[in-house]
C-alpha cells in the first residue's frame, strides 16, 4: 500500500476481525502483536488449535456440548486461515 493510512486501516480491519473470530480472551492475549497482524493471526491460530484439541478430547469423553465446541473451534481455524492470507497480502503489498 502506497500510503500509511491505507496500511493502518487494513491493519485495524484485520485486528477487528481477529477480535470477532477468536473472541475477547484470545484477542486480548495477543494485543501485543497488533502492529504485526500476520504474527497475531499465527498466535491466534495456535490458541485455536489448542481449543480444538481440548474440545476433541471432551468429545471423545462424550461430554455434552463438545460437538458444538469442536465445530466452533473448526470455524475459528477456517476463518483464521482466510485471515492469514489477507494479512500476508497486506504485508506483501506494503513491502512493494
Full-prediction pTM beyond 0.95?
A: no
Q: What percent of the chain has pLDDT over 90?
A: 74
| All three cell numbers of 9 | 486501516
Q: How far is CA 9 from CA 16, 22, 51, 58, 81, in A?
A: 10, 20, 30, 39, 20
Provide the pLDDT for residue 93.
81
Give the pLDDT confidence score for residue 3 in this predicted structure.
Answer: 65
* pLDDT band of 96, cuts 50, 70, 90: low
Predicted confidence (pLDDT) at residue 40 exceeds the cutoff of 90: yes
pLDDT for residue 1 is more than 50: no
| Maximum separation of any 2 CA atoms in the chain, in Å | 53
Give one word for 64, left, alpha or beta, with left for phi > 0 and alpha for psi -120 to 50.
Answer: beta
pLDDT-based confidence at 7, cuts 50/70/90? confident
CA distance 11 to 33: 11
Amino acid at each position: 500500500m502506497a500510503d500509511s493510512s491505507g496500511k493502518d486501516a487494513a491493519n485495524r480491519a484485520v485486528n477487528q476481525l481477529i477480535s470477532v473470530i477468536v473472541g475477547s480472551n484470545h484477542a486480548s492475549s495477543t494485543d501485543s502483536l497488533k502492529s504485526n497482524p500476520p504474527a497475531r493471526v499465527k498466535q491466534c491460530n495456535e490458541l485455536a488449535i489448542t481449543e480444538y484439541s481440548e474440545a476433541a478430547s471432551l468429545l471423545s469423553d462424550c461430554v455434552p456440548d463438545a460437538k458444538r465446541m469442536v465445530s466452533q473451534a473448526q470455524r475459528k481455524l477456517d476463518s483464521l486461515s482466510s485471515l492469514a492470507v489477507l494479512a500476508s497480502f497486506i504485508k506483501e503489498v506494503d513491502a512493494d
